[in-house]
C-alpha cells in the first residue's frame, strides 16, 4: 500500500476493508503475454488515425481466460467479501462456454450494461460482478497498451478518452519536467485506470466538453493542497477530474491507491453538483 493510503487508513480505520479490497483487485492477477501479432500494429495505427482507440476489436482476451481470472479474484476476495464463493459457478452456468467470449468482449470495451444484465440473469449483484469482471479483463488491456506504448505516445491523441482502450481517465497527473511524453514542464497527463495508458491533455480544458474559458473552469481542494492535489471542475458540463502533482508516472497500485486516498475530493465535487 502506498504511504499516502497507509497514512489515510491509520487516520480512518473504517476504510481499511476498502483499501485492502482495492489492493487485492490491483495485485492478485499476474501479467499476461499476448499471442504473437496481438495487438496488430498497423490496424491499431489506422484506428488511432481515425479517432478510434487502438485496442478496439483486438482479440486480447478469451472467455476462458476471463473466467479463470474471475475465479482467482473471487478466491482472493473471499477473506473480505461474503457470499462470493459461488459467483464464478453461477456466472459460468448463466453465460455458458460460448457466451463467455461475448462477456470477455464486453469487459474489454466497458459494455457494463451487458455485464450487469448477465449478472441479474444469474441472480448476482450487478455492481459486484461488474467490478470483478472489469478487473479480470485489465491484465489483457494492460498487455495490449504496453505493446503499443510507443505508438500511443506518438499518436498525438487529442481526445479525453483513453487512446488505448477508450475508457475515461481515472485521474490526471501534473508532471514537472522530464516527462516521458517529451512535453513542457507542468504537463497534464491523463491516466487510464484500466490499461494504464498515459496521454497529454491541455491543462485548461475540460475533459467532458472541451470548455477552455477560465470563467467556467475552477478547482476544489483541501486546505493548503491546491498546488498538488485538487479536483478540476467545469461549470459548463458539470464534469470533474482529480489532478495529482507527481514527480514520476504512477504505477498501477499507486494509481488506484491515490484514487482512493483522494476520495475527499470526490465527495466535495459530488456535493457541489459535479460528476465524474
Is residue 141 predicted with pLDDT exceeding 50?
A: yes
Is residue 207 predicted with pLDDT exceeding 60?
A: yes
Return the exposure string of 174-213: e unless at least 16 CB atoms fall within 10 Å of the residue's CB, then b.
bbeeebeeeeeeebbbbbbbbbbbbbbbeeebbbbeebee
Digit-coded pLDDT (tens) for 72-91? 999 888 876 665 678 888 88
The sheet carrying 198-200 orders its strands as 198-200, 187-191, 171-175, 240-246, 229-234, 217-220
Is residue 170 predicted with pLDDT exceeding 50?
A: yes
Cell of 147: 505493446
- What is the pTM (predicted TM-score) of this model? 0.89
- Given this model, what pLDDT does residue 83 score? 56
Digit-coded pLDDT (tens) for 209-240? 999 999 999 999 988 887 889 999 999 999 99
Is residue 174 predicted with pLDDT exceeding 50?
A: yes
Per DSSP, what are the bridge partners of residue 231?
Answer: 220, 242
Cell of 174: 501534473
- Given this model, what pLDDT does residue 211 score? 97
Is residue 182 predicted with pLDDT exceeding 60?
A: no
Is residue 272 predicted with pLDDT exceeding 60?
A: yes
Is residue 183 predicted with pLDDT exceeding 70?
A: no
Is residue 5 predicted with pLDDT exceeding 80?
A: no
Least confident of 13-22, 139-148, 158-167, 266-275: 13-22
Amino acid at each position: 500500500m502506498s504511504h499516502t493510503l497507509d497514512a489515510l487508513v491509520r487516520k480512518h480505520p473504517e476504510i481499511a476493508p476498502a483499501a485492502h479490497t482495492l489492493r487485492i483487485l490491483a495485485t492478485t492477477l499476474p501479467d499476461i503475454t499476448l499471442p504473437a501479432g496481438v495487438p496488430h500494429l498497423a490496424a491499431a495505427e489506422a484506428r488511432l488515425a481515425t479517432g478510434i482507440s487502438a485496442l478496439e476489436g483486438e482479440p486480447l482476451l478469451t472467455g476462458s481466460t476471463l473466467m479463470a481470472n474471475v475465479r482467482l479474484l473471487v478466491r482472493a476476495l473471499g477473506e473480505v467479501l461474503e457470499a462470493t464463493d459461488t459467483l464464478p459457478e453461477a456466472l459460468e452456468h448463466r453465460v455458458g462456454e460460448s457466451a463467455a467470449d461475448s462477456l470477455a468482449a464486453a469487459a474489454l470495451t466497458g459494455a457494463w450494461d451487458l455485464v450487469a444484465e448477465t449478472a441479474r440473469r444469474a441472480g448476482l449483484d450487478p455492481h459486484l460482478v461488474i467490478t470483478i469482471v472489469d478487473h479480470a479483463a485489465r491484465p489483457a488491456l494492460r498487455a495490449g497498451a504496453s505493446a503499443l506504448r510507443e505508438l500511443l505516445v506518438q499518436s498525438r491523441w487529442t481526445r479525453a478518452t483513453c487512446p488505448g482502450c477508450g475508457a475515461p481517465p481515472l485521474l490526471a497527473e501534473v508532471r514537472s519536467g522530464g516527462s516521458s511524453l517529451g512535453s513542457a514542464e507542468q504537463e497534464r497527463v491523463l491516466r487510464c485506470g484500466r490499461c494504464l495508458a498515459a496521454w497529454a491533455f491541455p491543462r485548461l480544458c475540460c475533459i467532458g466538453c472541451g470548455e477552455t474559458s477560465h470563467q467556467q473552469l475552477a478547482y476544489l481542494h483541501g486546505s493548503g493542497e491546491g498546488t498538488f492535489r485538487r479536483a478540476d471542475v467545469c461549470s459548463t458540463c458539470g464534469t470533474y477530474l482529480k489532478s495529482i502533482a507527481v514527480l514520476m508516472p504512477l504505477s498501477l497500485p499507486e494509481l488506484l491507491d491515490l484514487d482512493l486516498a483522494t476520495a475527499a475530493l470526490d465527495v466535495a465535487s459530488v456535493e457541489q453538483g459535479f460528476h465524474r
